[in-house]
C-alpha cells in the first residue's frame, strides 16, 4: 500500500553518509532557527503595535482634554493636530451614529485599538475596513461626537 510512497522518499533522501549526517544535524537547527525567528518577530510586532496604538489613543485623549480647556482656540487646535499629527478631525452635533459592525475580531490592529480605547473612552466606534489607508474613529463628546480620520501607519 505504501510502497510507492516509501520508494519516493528513498529516492529523495541522500545516499552518502556525509549528506545524511549533514541532514540529521542541519535540519533540526534550521527548523529551530525558523521557529525562533517567527516567534520573536511576531512578539516584536505585537509589542510595537501595542505601543503605537497606546501612543495614538494618548494623542486623541490629549486633543479632547485640550479641546475641553478654555485656554485654546478650538479651530487652531484642530488645525495643529491636522498639520502635525495628520489627523482629520471634525465635530458633529448629532448623536453618535454607528454603521454596521465592521470590526474584525481577529485582526491584531482592531484588537489592540479596541483594548486601548476601552481604557480611555466610554462610548466610541471605529472602522478599519471602509477606507484603505485610514481608520475612521468616532468618540462621543458632550452632545455630539468627534470624527477622526487617522492614517493606518500611525
So what's the pLDDT on residue 100?
Answer: 61
Percentage of the chain beyond pLDDT 70 is: 92
CA dihedral 41, 46, 48, 52 (to 10 degrees): 160
Q: Distance between CA 54 and CA 47 in Å, rounded?
A: 10
So what's the pLDDT on residue 4?
Answer: 74
111: buried, middle or exposed (CB in 10 Å: 19+, 13-18, 0-12)? middle
Q: Distance between CA 109 and CA 91 in Å, rounded?
A: 25
* Mean pLDDT confidence for 100-126: 82
User: Does position 102 have pLDDT exceeding 70, yes or no?
Assistant: no
pLDDT category of residue 146 using cuts at 50, 70 and 90: very high
79: closest CA among 68, 67, 71? 67
Amino acid at each position: 500500500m505504501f510502497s510507492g510512497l516509501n520508494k519516493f522518499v528513498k529516492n529523495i533522501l541522500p545516499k552518502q553518509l556525509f549528506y545524511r549526517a549533514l541532514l540529521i544535524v542541519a535540519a533540526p537547527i534550521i527548523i529551530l532557527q525558523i521557529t525562533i525567528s517567527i516567534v520573536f518577530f511576531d512578539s516584536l510586532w505585537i509589542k510595537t503595535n501595542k505601543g503605537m496604538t497606546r501612543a495614538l489613543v494618548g494623542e486623541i485623549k490629549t486633543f479632547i482634554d485640550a479641546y475641553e480647556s478654555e485656554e485654546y482656540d478650538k479651530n487652531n487646535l484642530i488645525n495643529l493636530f491636522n498639520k502635525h499629527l495628520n489627523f482629520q478631525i471634525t465635530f458633529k452635533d448629532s448623536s453618535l451614529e454607528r454603521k454596521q459592525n465592521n470590526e474584525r475580531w481577529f485582526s491584531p490592529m482592531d484588537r489592540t485599538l479596541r483594548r486601548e480605547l476601552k481604557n480611555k473612552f466610554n462610548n466610541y466606534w471605529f472602522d478599519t475596513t471602509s477606507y484603505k489607508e485610514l481608520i475612521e474613529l468616532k468618540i462621543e463628546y458632550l452632545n455630539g461626537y468627534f470624527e477622526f480620520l487617522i492614517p493606518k501607519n500611525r
